[in-house]
Chains A and B, each alone.
Chain A
Amino acid sequence: MIQSWRDLDRILRGEATRLPNLRRGTIEVRVGGLAVVLVVLAMIYGACMGCFALFKPGGADYWQVVASVVKVPALFGLTLAVTLPSLYVFNALVGSRLSLTSVVRLLAAGLAIIVAVLASLGPIVAFFSVSTTNYPFMVLLNVVVFAAAGSMGMMFLLQTRRLGNSWAMRRMLRRRVRSSRSRIRF
Chain B
Amino acid sequence: MNRMFRHADAVLRGRATGRPWGLVVVCGLAYGAVMGSISGLDGDRGWQVAFSAIKVPLLLLATLVLSLPSYFVANTLLGVRADFSEALRAIVASQAGLALILVSLAPMTMVWYATSADYGSAILFNATMFAVASVGAQAMLWRGYRPLIARNPRHRLLLRAWIVIYAFVGIQLGWTLRPFIGVPDSPVTLFRGGPQENAYVVIVRLVAGVILRRP
Which residues does A use to contact B, with CB under 8 Å?
9, 12-14, 55, 57, 113, 116-117, 119-124, 127-128, 130-134, 137, 152, 156
Q: A124-B67, A128-B172 are in contact. Are A133 and B73 (CB under 8 A)?
A: no
A134 near B198 with CB under 8 A, answer yes
Q: Which of B67, B73, B79, B198 contacts A131 (CB 8 A)?
A: B198
A133 near B69 with CB under 8 A, answer no
B69 near A14 with CB under 8 A, answer no
What is the CB-to-nearest-CB distance from A57 to chain B, in angstroms, rounded to a whole number?
Answer: 6
* Chain A: CB-nearest residue to B72: A120
Q: Which of B66, B76, B198 contacts A123 (CB 8 A)?
A: B66
Q: Classify the interface of chain A: helix, strand, loop or mixed.
A: helix
Residues of A within 8 A of B211 (CB): none
B69 near A55 with CB under 8 A, answer no
Which residues does B use to contact A, with CB under 8 Å?
65-67, 69-70, 72-74, 76-77, 79, 81, 165, 168-169, 172-173, 175-176, 195-198, 200-201
A152 to B161, CA, bound (A): 14
Residues of A within 8 A of B81 (CB): 13
A152 near B66 with CB under 8 A, answer no
Residues of A within 8 A of B73 (CB): 12, 116-117, 120
> Can you name 23 A-B residue pairings with CB atoms under 8 Å?
A14-B77, A55-B196, A57-B195, A117-B74, A117-B77, A120-B70, A121-B69, A123-B66, A123-B70, A124-B168, A124-B169, A127-B66, A127-B172, A131-B172, A131-B173, A131-B175, A131-B198, A132-B196, A132-B197, A133-B195, A133-B196, A134-B197, A134-B201
What is the CB-to-nearest-CB distance from A41 to chain B, in angstroms, rounded to a whole number?
Answer: 11
A48 to B96, CA, bound (A): 29
Residues of B within 8 A of A55 (CB): 196
Residues of B within 8 A of A57 (CB): 195
Contacts beyond the supplied A14-B77, A128-B172, A134-B198: 15 A-B pairs with Cβ under 8 Å: A13-B76, A13-B79, A14-B79, A113-B77, A120-B72, A121-B69, A124-B70, A128-B198, A131-B176, A132-B172, A132-B196, A133-B195, A137-B198, A137-B201, A152-B77
What is the CB-to-nearest-CB distance from A154 to chain B, in angstroms, rounded to a whole number?
Answer: 13
A124 near B66 with CB under 8 A, answer yes
* Chain B: CB-nearest residue to A127: B66
* Chain B: CB-nearest residue to A132: B198
* Chain A: CB-nearest residue to B63: A127
A12 near B76 with CB under 8 A, answer yes
